[in-house]
């Protein structure tokens, strides 16, 4: 069987790592059903900190093909990816193309795959936020509509697809592949030193870097923020910054892992310099997977608009304030046993939820099949597809 798998952006890298490793393990012991695998990187995330470093840290072999698409508008990325990926398909002629997640590369390669009449499998199928203003939601809908095999992370996602009219035989509940990555990297992450992470990645303050003191386990909050709806409007981001400076860091130290887009907007709005000088606020560059996981393991709470971190917090039990009005991962919410609370980007809601959970105990929760073996189930589904 010939399989092409596609990655394009950082969230994909963490999802493809266990899949690639499962193929290697299968090929070592099953010569009769050996899989001929090609890894394609579209280049949507193309700098070392966002791409190459993740491949190295997660043990993903260098991509067999890099399309070098780079940045651009949504239409530019999708169009350039389709043109480049079509040539790969015509050359390789795979039996299956496997796409992951909901980035532009996922959508573009799905469309191109089906135009070439090739079987398409989608890892992380069926996630729905119901928010059509999110580019990711459009990508999910397109990809799931076109896919021949829909590999879902939870039963809610399977039901979403069934309600949309997808035939039952195309849906396979396999579990969450992100938890495969979490399980295989937990020990390595735990061995990292928190303060070394902070001192190595902390952004300079007035051209100087200062070492931080020891942060106690469970006595700091962790934050990531990157979505345009949260960072592109001064009326949204300025009150959040004010809450952080005047209330949050007075209650607990905050580690803020800054996204390039967020840093740019904070500078545009004139908020950056004051943040760098704020006591008890540690602003870090984008981190590698193990570094971020290490911080999450001992954080007293997470504030984030990242879907992947919602899932991680669910399993680790880290109380999570999700700075979004909706989520495609409802299985991570408190009402389903998870650790996440939707607070949107309204400061009043954020403030109320923050003081409500600041002393909350961890409550780890594993939804069905979030057991670290999802990648093996995916391989079985592909091999049993009849090709």
Hey, which residues are catalytic here?
Answer: 226
3-class state of residue 321 by DSSP: strand
φ/ψ of 214, rounded to 5, equals -70, 130
Q: Are 143 and 107 in contact (CB under 8 A)?
A: yes
3-class state of residue 167 by DSSP: coil
DSSP string, 245-273: IIIIHHHS-EEEEE-HHHHHHHHHTT-HH
Q: Are 318 and 301 in contact (CB under 8 A)?
A: yes
CA 256 from centroid of its chain's CA atoms: 17
3-class state of residue 98 by DSSP: strand
Closest CA to 200 of 87, 86, 331, 288: 288
Q: Dihedral (C-alpha) 202, 206, 207, 211: value to the nearest 10 degrees? A: -40
3-class state of residue 173 by DSSP: strand
Helix axes 307-316, 10-29, angle to 10 degrees: 60
- How far is the C-alpha of 111 from the C-alpha of 147, rounded, in Å? 9
What's the token pair of residue 289? 């997977």
Give the Cβ contact number of residue 342 at 10 Å. Answer: 18
Distance of CA 199 to CAs 117, 174, 176, 194, 215, Å? Answer: 51, 39, 33, 9, 12
Give the Cβ contact number of residue 222 at 10 Å. Answer: 24
What's the token pair of residue 327? 């989520």
Distance of CA 206 to CAs 255, 275, 277, 284, 316, Å? Answer: 19, 11, 9, 15, 36
3-class state of residue 152 by DSSP: strand
Residue with tokens 């400061």, as numbered in its chain:
347
């Amino acid at each position: 069987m010939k399989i092409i798998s596609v990655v394009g952006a950082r969230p994909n890298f963490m999802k493809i790592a266990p899949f690639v490793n499962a193929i290697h393990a299968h090929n070592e012991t099953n010569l009769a059903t050996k899989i001929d695998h090609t890894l394609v990187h579209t280049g949507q995330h193309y700098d070392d900190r966002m791409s190459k470093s993740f491949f190295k840290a997660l043990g993903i072999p260098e991509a067999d093909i890099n399309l070098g698409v780079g940045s651009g508008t949504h239409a530019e990325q999708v169009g350039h990816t389709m043109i480049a990926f079509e040539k790969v398909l015509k050359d390789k002629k795979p039996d299956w193309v496997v796409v992951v997640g909901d980035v532009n590369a996922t959508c573009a390669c799905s469309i191109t795959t089906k135009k070439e009449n090739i079987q398409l499998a989608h890892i992380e199928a069926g996630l729905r936020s119901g928010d059509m203003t999110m580019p990711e939601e459009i990508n999910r809908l397109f990809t799931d509509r076109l896919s021949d095999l829909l590999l879902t992370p939870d039963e809610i996602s399977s039901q979403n697809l069934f309600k949309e009219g997808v035939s039952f035989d195309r849906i396979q509940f396999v579990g969450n592949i992100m938890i495969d990555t979490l399980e295989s990297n937990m020990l390595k992450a735990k061995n990292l030193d928190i303060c070394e992470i902070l001192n190595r990645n902390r952004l300079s303050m007035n051209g100087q870097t200062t070492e931080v003191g020891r942060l106690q386990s469970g006595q700091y909050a962790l934050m990531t923020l990157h979505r345009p709806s949260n960072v592109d409007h001064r009326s949204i981001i300025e009150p959040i910054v004010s809450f952080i400076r005047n209330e949050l860091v007075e209650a607990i130290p905050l580690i803020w892992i800054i996204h390039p887009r967020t840093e740019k907007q904070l500078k545009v709005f004139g908020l950056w310099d004051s943040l760098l000088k704020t006591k008890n606020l540690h602003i870090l560059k984008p981190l590698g997977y193990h570094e971020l996981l290490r911080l999450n393991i001992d954080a007293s709470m997470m504030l984030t608009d990242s879907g992947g971190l919602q899932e991680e917090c669910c399993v680790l039990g880290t109380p999570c304030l999700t700075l979004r009005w909706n989520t495609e991962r409802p299985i991570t919410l408190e009402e389903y046993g998870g650790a996440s609370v939707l607070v949107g980007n309204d400061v009043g809601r954020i403030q109320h939820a923050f003081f409500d959970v600041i002393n909350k105990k961890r409550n780890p929760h594993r939804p069905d099949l979030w057991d670290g073996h999802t990648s093996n189930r995916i391989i079985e589904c592909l091999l049993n597809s009849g090709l």
